[in-house]
């Protein structure tokens, strides 16, 4: 019988101990795999979507809520700000660019965002089909919106009031899809973009006379303003200027992301520690399994030595046994971890939030495999050494 056959036969003699060692290591690997993939992908998306935006201006409230709603479109806005604030900021010499964002409706859970073409240019997006809007009530959809809804250029859609599905549908105000964006890997992929005047038209209706129209125009608002500084000095001055306004609040994406990562980091670190504890427990279980196996097979090992097996071969058999357990646990743990990532990714996709995919490779996964093999090697080291140093004569004499 070859070495692998011998090892498999020995493992089959101790099914409960074998399964326990595999389960503990597999759970540790699954936990670490889940944390590495989810944390890595979410961190990259958060950083990518905020890149180039120095400040978000909105209604007073929670700065983190403002960032999540205006930049990532996963929370409700803190309110609206006067349209005059847009012109005021654009006149500020410390400000290089201001991009307005108006929210209020959705289409099948994807948010309809009233904005300007500058938002598309900011993320470096390009049109895969059709063109950008050139008039109100024309819409450009992100790649994820097009994939899920199967919409194409020329389609007609109606928004649903509110930021979640289930609200009243604006049947009388329909958008024409004039463009589809190529995938960008950014928040644009899951948005329906239109001119900011489209959002006003949907909610203002058709004014009865010119006086009413002028009143509506004077009272127009936007949800938030995305600001890019003209110089480093702006970081110390512009936020203070904004916060001095009674209705306005300035939130720094960098600061709020740091706070968010600090909060998330507690849970992530806890899961990492839990995974490490499981790996350590599996190391102990492997050691106990192999040590007990050595005691049970002392006579068999002595016979093997007597028949010509070298010390190295005996030690190798125990190491191979541990490595085989680690390999099975590694495969099972990776499969379990990827399945958990797929479940979370599907949930996020249904909520029109971030994109998490089990198919995304992370270099850290290689380290998980290395740690698993190293743990198996450490667990088998002492039993393998004792087996190779066994006194053949004394063992055969005891029987």
Q: For 218-243, what is each residue's pLDDT tens digit?
A: 778 999 999 999 999 999 999 999 99
- pLDDT value at position 236? 93
Model confidence at 311: pLDDT above 70:
no
Three-class DSSP labels, the chain:
CCHHHHHHHHHHCCHHHHHHHHHHHHHHHHHHHHHHHHHHHHHHHHHHHHCCCCEEEEECCCHHHHHHHHHHCCCCCCCCEECHHHHHHHCCCCEEEEEEEEEEEEECCEEEEEECHHHHHHCCCCEEEECCCCCCCEEEECHHHHHHHCCCCCCEEEEEECCCCCCCEEEEEEEEEEEEECCCCCHHHHEEEEEHHHHHHHHHCCCCCHHHHHHHHHCCEECEEEEEECCCCHHHHHHHHHHCCCCEEEECHHHHHHHHHHHHHHHHHHHHHHHHHHHHHHHHHHHHHHHHHHHHCHHHHHHHHHCCCCHHHHHHHHHHHHHHHHHHHHHHHHHHHHHHHHHHHHHHHHCCCCCCCCCCCCCHHHHHHHHHHHHHHHHHHHHHHHHHCCCHHHHHHHC
pLDDT band at 369 (very low <50, low <70, confident <90, very high): confident
What is the per-residue pLDDT across 125-182, written as a single tens digit (0 to 9) for each?
Answer: 999 999 999 999 999 999 999 999 999 999 999 999 888 777 888 888 899 999 999 9
Mean pLDDT along residues 268-296: 74
Mean pLDDT along residues 294-303: 61
What is the per-residue pLDDT across 14-24, written as a single tens digit (0 to 9) for each?
Answer: 777 778 878 88
Tokens representing 15 are: 């099914």
- pLDDT value at position 161? 87
Mean pLDDT along residues 211-223: 75
The string of DSSP codes covering 187-199 is GGGGEEEEEHHHH
- For residue 156, the cross-strand partners are 176
- pLDDT value at position 343? 93
Model confidence at 258: pLDDT above 60:
yes
Please identify which residue in the block is written with the tokens 């190293």. 374
Model confidence at 6: pLDDT above 70:
no
Most confident range (mean pLDDT) of 30-44, 145-159, 285-299, 311-325 is 145-159
- pLDDT value at position 24? 82
Q: How far apart are CA 33 and CA 359, in angstroms?
A: 12
pLDDT band at 396 (very low <50, low <70, confident <90, very high): low
What does the mean pLDDT of the chain come to?
84
Whole-model pTM over 0.75: yes
- pLDDT value at position 85? 92
Is the pLDDT higher at 272 or at 191? 191
Range from 138-152, 259-273, 366-380 carrying the lowest mean pLDDT: 259-273
Q: Are 238 and 96 in contact (CB under 8 A)?
A: no
Q: Are 112 and 120 in contact (CB under 8 A)?
A: no
- For residue 57, the cross-strand partners are 225, 250
- pLDDT value at position 215? 63
Model confidence at 1: pLDDT above 60:
no
pLDDT band at 217 (very low <50, low <70, confident <90, very high): low
Model confidence at 299: pLDDT above 60:
no
Range from 339-343, 367-371, 389-393 carrying the lowest mean pLDDT: 389-393
State residue 74 phi and psi, 5-degree precision: -125, 10
Three-class DSSP labels, 154-182:
CCEEEEEECCCCCCCEEEEEEEEEEEEEC
- pLDDT value at position 10? 64
């Amino acid at each position: 019988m070859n070495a692998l056959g011998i090892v498999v036969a020995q493992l089959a003699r101790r099914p409960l101990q074998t399964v326990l060692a595999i389960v503990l290591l597999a759970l540790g690997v699954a936990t670490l795999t889940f944390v590495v993939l989810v944390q890595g992908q979410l961190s990259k998306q958060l950083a990518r979507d905020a890149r180039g935006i120095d400040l978000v201006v909105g209604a007073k409230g929670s700065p983190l809520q403002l960032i999540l709603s205006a930049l990532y479109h996963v929370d409700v806005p803190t309110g609206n700000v006067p349209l005059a604030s847009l012109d005021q900021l654009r006149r500020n010499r410390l400000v290089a660019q201001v991009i307005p964002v108006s929210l209020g409706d959705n289409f099948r859970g994807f948010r309809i965002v009233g904005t300007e073409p500058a938002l598309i240019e900011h993320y470096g997006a390009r049109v895969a089909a059709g063109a950008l809007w050139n008039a109100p009530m024309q819409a450009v959809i992100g790649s994820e919106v097009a994939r899920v809804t199967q919409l194409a250029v020329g389609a007609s859609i109606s928004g649903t009031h509110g930021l979640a599905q289930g609200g009243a549908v604006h049947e009388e105000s329909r958008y024409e899809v004039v463009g589809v964006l190529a995938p960008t890997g950014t928040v644009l992929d899951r948005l329906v973009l239109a001119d900011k005047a489209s959002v006003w038209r949907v909610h203002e209706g058709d004014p009865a006379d010119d006086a009413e129209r002028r009143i509506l125009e004077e009272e127009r608002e936007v949800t938030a303003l995305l600001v890019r500084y003209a110089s480093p000095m702006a970081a110390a001055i512009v936020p203070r200027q904004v916060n001095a306004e009674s209705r306005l609040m300035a939130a720094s994406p960098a600061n709020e992301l740091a706070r968010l990562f600090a909060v998330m980091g507690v849970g992530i670190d806890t899961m990492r520690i839990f995974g490490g504890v499981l790996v350590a427990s599996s190391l102990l279980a492997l050691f106990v399994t192999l040590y007990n196996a050595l005691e049970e097979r002392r006579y068999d090992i002595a016979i093997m030595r007597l028949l010509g097996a070298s010390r190295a071969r005996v030690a190798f058999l125990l190491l191979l046994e541990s490595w085989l357990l680690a390999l099975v646990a590694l495969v099972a743990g990776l499969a379990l971890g990827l399945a958990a990532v797929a479940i979370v990714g599907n949930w996020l996709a249904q909520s029109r939030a971030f994109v998490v995919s089990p198919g995304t490779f992370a270099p850290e996964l290689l380290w998980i495999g290395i740690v698993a093999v190293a743990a198996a090697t450490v667990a088998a080291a002492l039993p393998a050494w004792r087996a190779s140093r066994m006194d053949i004569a004394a063992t055969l004499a005891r029987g």
